Amino acid sequence: MNRVVGILVVAAMGLPGAVLAHEGRHPIRIEAPKGTKAVKVNPAQRRWLAGDHHVHSQYSVGLKPAADPAQPPTPIVGGDAIYPIPTNAEMGAKYGLSWMVATDHGGPNHSKVNRDLAYPELLESRRRVKSVIQFYGLELNSPGADHSSIIVPKTPAERDVLFDLESRFDKREAWPIDPTHDAEARMIEALKVMRDLPAPPLVIAHHPSRSARGISQYGMTTPRELRAWNDAAPKVAIGMEGAPGHQAGTLNKSGVADPDDGFRGSYRAAPTMGGFDQMTARLGGFWDSMLGEGRRWWITATSDSHRHYTEGGSDFWPGEYSKTYVKAARDPADILDGLREGRVFVTLGDLVSELDVTLQATGAKASLGETLTVPRGADVTVVIRLRDPAGANHGGRTPDVARVDVIRSEIEPAVSDPTVDANSRARVERRFGPRDWVREGERISMTLTLKNVTEATYIRVRGTNGAELEPTPDTAGEDPWTDLWFYANPVFIAVR
């Protein structure tokens, strides 16, 4: 795995020391950050590119307390996650990824670990693993909430931008610990700073319900907070992990105790549902409430890779189980544009590898993340095309798509109560099974007509290899390869 085993004290980075334990058809102009050239993208060149925006390396550190309590603890490289960045990229390439993000985290002074150790290794990884587009990022210890990705656009300023953001806004960065840094107001300030940068990053909430105590009993991250994030910077705070990482705990046969007790995603009090967070999986739940306001709020799926399950962890390699597909050209700016604009679907266990949802009416079309504008009373045709791979996935299974659901809701003005996590108008418009679609080899297609559309609406699609009509809570010890779902981000309809 290209790891260094042993203990090595390093004097670097201006830190007191670091202990190394382990090693379309018409071109679209995308505005480029200052200091870079604009990118022209022909939509016809866009393809589904799989990626992962939540991946940890050896620079997600542990902490060794200082002998003098007035001094900050020493970062222990490899003390939390264990793999070098190039190893993560090599494994991501092996499991079919085209892009990924290095998102390390830590405690006091971790901004210097990222700047002085992680970033040079990321540059080396980019040189060594050219098949994977690699972004520089961070798992932010979010003020007032749980974790989140910061994904920095690939520019000459990326290192300094991230250092500034982490050093100023990560709630665990300061020493001594300052409780006032763990406040929602600081997160809103951070988002506004990012919003106003020449090349704004992306922020995606991580495992939003992992600290929940039950259904709709949220913990560190709440619906009100996520609405406030999106209000402050709607093109920066763009969504949340629909499917969290840490889903391989039950496969851990290493003899080392599973730190997650076999629960998918470490979700104990409020388990995942079909591998997805309750904020996404519940029909008419939080995600539908956000979309029902017309918010562009997207979902992703990640590995949260720290340590592979065969080495005592609860994680899959990047791309081994969860994939976030972005429709984009093989260009860093277009990949981030795809994430920002919602050209995204997610899948577990390689249940599907392509998923196109197109709405069409009166000669116009719209796809994932886009808006179709139609005359009031128009009929709208929904066309779904997907690829159900014939070969075995990385778990040695050959799952088949058993059902595809089309979910629909009308869109109403923003809610007056920001704590709301329900949308009573969201419903399954149609369930498709093998008798209802056309299959040609790996390709499956189906259509549905929405008659007499008179209100603003959104359509989203999900599917499964199982028989559950709705995803049910996952149980401890459940084999993640047997219970697979995919979800597409929505397509909107505007009525004129």
pLDDT digits (tens, 9 = 90+) for 220-271: 999 999 999 999 999 999 999 999 999 999 999 876 655 667 899 999 999 9
Please, are residues 430 and 233 in contact by the beta-carbon 8 Å criterion? no
Band (pLDDT 50/70/90 cuts) for residue 415 is confident
Instruction: Specify whether the backbone of 166 is left (phi greater than 0), alpha (psi in -120 to 50) or beta.
Output: alpha
Which pLDDT value is given to residue 255? 67
For 409, the token pair is 């809701």
Which pLDDT value is given to residue 30? 37
Which pLDDT value is given to residue 256? 65
Which pLDDT value is given to residue 414? 80
Which pLDDT value is given to residue 260? 65
- Has residue 363 been placed in a domain? no
Report which secondary-structure segment, H or E, holds 292.
helix 286-292
pLDDT in tens, 20-52: 544 333 333 334 444 444 567 889 999 999 999
406-433: average pLDDT: 96
User: From CA 114, how far away is CA 197, in angstroms rounded?
Assistant: 20
Question: Which of the two residues, 34 and 443, has the higher pLDDT score?
Answer: 443
Residue located via tokens 């042993």: 6
- Has residue 59 been placed in a domain? yes
User: From CA 305, how far away is CA 145, in angstroms rounded?
Assistant: 21
- Has residue 93 been placed in a domain? yes
Range of the domain at 244: 5-351
User: From CA 39, how far away is CA 126, in angstroms rounded?
Assistant: 20
pLDDT in tens, 134-182: 999 999 999 999 999 999 999 999 999 999 999 999 999 999 999 999 9
- Has residue 198 been placed in a domain? yes
Residue located via tokens 């020391």: 17
Q: Is the predicted pLDDT of residue 126 greater than 80, yes or no?
A: yes
Neighbouring CB atoms inside 10 A of 241's CB total 31
Band (pLDDT 50/70/90 cuts) for residue 5 is very low
Mean confidence (pLDDT) of the chain? 92
Rg value, the chain, Cα: 22
CATH number at residue 128: 3.20.20.140
Which pLDDT value is given to residue 15? 54
- Has residue 220 been placed in a domain? yes
Side-chain-facing half-sphere of 303: CA atoms under 13 Å = 32
User: From CA 441, how far away is CA 443, in angstroms rounded?
Assistant: 6
Of the chain, the percentage scoring pLDDT greater than 70 comes to 91
pLDDT in tens, 370-406: 999 999 999 999 999 999 999 999 999 999 999 999 9
Which pLDDT value is given to residue 11? 39
- Has residue 327 been placed in a domain? yes
202-205 and 237-243: which strand pairing? parallel
For 103, the token pair is 């998102």
- Has residue 250 been placed in a domain? yes
For 26, the token pair is 């018409």
Q: Is the predicted pLDDT of residue 278 greater than 60, yes or no?
A: yes
Residue from 470, 475, 415, 467 nearest 286 by CA: 415
Q: Is the predicted pLDDT of residue 284 greater than 90, yes or no?
A: yes
- Has residue 277 been placed in a domain? yes
Please, are residues 142 and 208 in contact by the beta-carbon 8 Å criterion? no
Q: Angle at Cα 98 formed by Cα 93 and Cα 102, nearest 5°?
A: 80
User: From CA 84, how far away is CA 76, in angstroms rounded?
Assistant: 14
Q: Is the predicted pLDDT of residue 10 greater than 80, yes or no?
A: no
274-284: average pLDDT: 98
Q: Is the predicted pLDDT of residue 186 greater than 80, yes or no?
A: yes
Instruction: Please write down the long-range contacts of 121-130, taking CB distance under 8 Å and 24 or more positions apart.
Output: 121/57, 121/59, 121/84, 121/85, 121/86, 122/85, 124/85, 124/86, 125/84, 125/85, 125/86, 125/88, 125/89, 128/86, 128/89, 128/90, 129/86, 129/89, 129/90, 129/92, 129/93
pLDDT in tens, 93-119: 999 999 999 999 999 999 999 999 999
Side-chain-facing half-sphere of 193: CA atoms under 13 Å = 14
Cis amide prior to 143 (ω within 30 degrees): no
pTM of this structure: 0.94
Spell out the residues 6+ positions from residue 308 whose beta carbon is closer than 8 angstroms to its own: 248, 315, 316, 317
Q: Is the predicted pLDDT of residue 337 greater than 70, yes or no?
A: yes
The count of structural domains within the chain is 1
Residue from 149, 162, 250, 251 nearest 208 by CA: 149
User: Burial, 6: exposed, middle or buried (Cβ in 10 Å; 0-12, 13-18, 19+)?
Assistant: exposed
491-495 and 457-464: which strand pairing? antiparallel
